Amino acid sequence: MWQWFHKLGSPKWFFGIANRLMPWLLAGGLIILAVGVVWGLAFAPKDYLQGNSYRIIFIHVPTAFLAQSVYIMMAVAAVVTLVWRMKLADVFVKAVAPVGLVLTFLALFTGAVWGKPTWGTWWIWDARLTSMLILLFLYGGVIALDRAINDEKSAARAVAVLVLVGVVNIPIIKYSVEWWNTLHQPATLKLTEKPSMSSEMLIPLLLSILGLYLLFGWLACIRMQTEILVREQRTKWVREMVMAGRN
Amino acid sequence: MSADLRPEIKPVSAGVGTFAAMKAVFGRDLKVAFRQKQDLLNPLLFFVMVVSLFPLGVSPEVSFLREAGAGILWVAALLSVLLSLDHLFRHDFDDGSLEQLVLQPQPLFLLVLAKTLAHWMLTGLPLVVLTPVLGVMVHQEGNSIAVLCLTLLIGTPVLSLIGAIGAALTLGLRSAGVLLSLLIIPLYIPVLIFGTGTVAAAADGASVGAYVALMAAFLVLAVTLAPFAAAAALRISLSNG
């Protein structure tokens, strides 16, 4: 049972697994995302209230969804870093923090583009928007702290503490649309309830989210591989691999 | 800095109770602070100056100041706490007493809590005491001033406690000041929102009970959790050297 868990801690083992996974993640992600987005943008029915402008949901919701779940994944990895001192967990945090930052920015940006035709304003200081902005700041802080500490091990643990402290923001984002009376509409997708949108809109939306998840998986793998190569550049297996690649 | 200004932390034997150790740390921090009175005064001066920037820079109109006064005072208090955080561990880190603190047999998070409490007594509490005067200067009404003082009284310890985590994380780093602000301001935003929200509710004549309870909940959460995070961060920063 614990065998795979220990293996997971080995950068070399992960490097091999990632090599095998990445083509699938990339191909699957691109195809599913393309199907979802094209279906959503071109073929899904118009919204009876918002007309065509609602179609940005097929980009806005996946990015916002992933922006939050990337932070949760980072928090889980942070616990692993602090408790088991697993190298890969901290490689993961370091590799995906910039990705999370970009996703959060995209969610805010597409939200602003969507807000202009529907609310008549680019930005409003509403609870959901403000808490997403805080998430953007948190990602920025994590990256800044990581860059500021030279020692790799202390950087990993300090960043882990910061990520865990920032986790308090996640439930605030999630429930901001329910706790406060906000302009932002309530959640489109809920696990516990019947979806509030028709299946012709729902299926492309779910496909876009799944596609973006797979694409994120690919991006995480390639960024982690790069980080591993930098860290393990003095080890034998990296040298052998690089030399083999050169011949 | 001459050595006699800063009494060293005496090694406390394991037999000394945790509470006695906390009291010793607390007392030492107050003593050190009162031997350098200018450091005590600076955040307060900063607070007064930032508040006075708004009427001069934005508008001295009574209607504007009545509307924005509570927010101005809260933001100024937040910034001056932020500015003073650097002192929380820095000097102890520089002269090595922090390592002694970490080596004490008593739980580190309680000693950190005592240090943070001392920090609040020296920065947060004086800000609360100054608030009525500045509140009158930005044309707040009596009731608003009372509520403002109450929210700052509950809110500034939360700021000190959260700030302790950031101060511990950035200890010994280059350009720690800016970095500290980057890490801590996102976490300060909820406290600020509810702090000013309480005053706004009071100005509208609404009941503030729920808001005050929520802020008290923040305080309870910060007192119970922040010292653990700050203690963990201190150990990490000290192993960095």
Is residue A43 predicted with pLDDT exceeding 90? no
Which residues touch B146 (CB under 8 Å, ≥6 apart)?
A: none
Per the model's pLDDT, the better-predicted residue between B131 and A199 turns out to be B131
**Are A215 and A25 a contacting pair, CB within 8 Å?**
yes
The pLDDT tens digits for B30-74 are 998 898 888 889 999 999 999 999 999 988 888 889 888 899 999
| Whole-angstrom distance, CA of residue A140 vs CA of residue A150 | 18
Residue A8's pLDDT band, with cuts at 50, 70 and 90, is low
Among residues A98, A76, A64, A48, the alpha carbon closest in space to that of A198 is found at A48
Q: Which residue has the tokens 């609310």?
A: A119
Q: Does B173 touch chain A (CB under 8 A)?
A: yes
| Choice among A87-101, A146-160, A183-197 with the minimum mean pLDDT | A183-197
| Whole-angstrom distance, CA of residue B78 vs CA of residue B219 | 15
The residue type at B161: L
Q: Output phi, psi for A170, to 5 deg.
A: -60, -50
Of the candidates B169, B232, B240, which has its C-beta nearest A145's C-beta? B169
B224 vs A contacts (CB less than 8 Å): none
Judged by CB atoms closer than 8 Å, whether chains meet at A166 and B190 is answered as no
Judged by CB atoms closer than 8 Å, whether chains meet at B173 and A165 is answered as no
Q: What are the residue boundaries of the structural domains of chain B, listed by start?
A: 14-239
Among residues A187, A221, A167, A197, the alpha carbon closest in space to that of A45 is found at A197
Distance from the Cα of B236 to chain A's closest Cα (Å) equals: 6
| Whole-angstrom distance, CA of residue B139 vs CA of residue B142 | 9
Tell me if ipTM is over 0.85: no
Of the candidates A82, A134, A162, which has its C-beta nearest B183's C-beta? A162
Residue A122's pLDDT band, with cuts at 50, 70 and 90, is confident
Query: Closest-CA residue in chain A for B169?
Result: A158
In the three-class reduction of DSSP (H, G, I as helix; E, B as strand; rest coil), residue A125 is classed as: coil
pLDDT, mean of residues A14-31:
90
**How many residues does this entry show for chain B?**
241
Which residues touch B15 (CB under 8 Å, ≥6 apart)?
A: none
Among residues B147, B148, B92, the alpha carbon closest in space to that of B119 is found at B92
Most A-contacting residue of B174, B180, B182 (CB-CB within 10 A), to test interface: B182
pTM: 0.86
Q: What are the residue boundaries of the structural domains of chain A, listed by start?
A: 22-187+197-241
| Choice among A50-54, B11-15, B186-190 with the minimum mean pLDDT | B11-15
Per the model's pLDDT, the better-predicted residue between A199 and A97 turns out to be A97
A interface with B, Cβ–Cβ below 8 Å: 82, 130, 134, 137-138, 140-141, 144-145, 148-149, 151, 153-154, 157-158, 161-162, 164-166, 168-169, 172
> CA A127, A133, A135 angle in degrees (round to 5)?
105
The pLDDT tens digits for A201-240 are 888 889 999 999 999 999 999 999 999 988 888 888 888 8
Per DSSP, A43 falls in state I
| Whole-angstrom distance, CA of residue B130 vs CA of residue B110 | 29
**Are B137 and B60 a contacting pair, CB within 8 Å?**
no
| Whole-angstrom distance, CA of residue A217 vs CA of residue A18 | 10
Find residue A51's DSSP bridge partners. A47
**Are B180 and B189 a contacting pair, CB within 8 Å?**
no
Chain-centre distance for alpha carbon B239:
26
Judged by CB atoms closer than 8 Å, whether chains meet at A137 and B182 is answered as yes
Instruction: Say whether domain A22-187+197-241 belongs to CATH 1.20.120.
Output: yes
Give exposure, B101-137, as e/b (b: 16+ Cβ within 10 Å): bbebebebbbbbbbbbbbbbbbbbebbbebbeebbee
Most A-contacting residue of B183, B188, B211 (CB-CB within 10 A), to test interface: B183
> CA B223, B225, B229 angle in degrees (round to 5)?
120
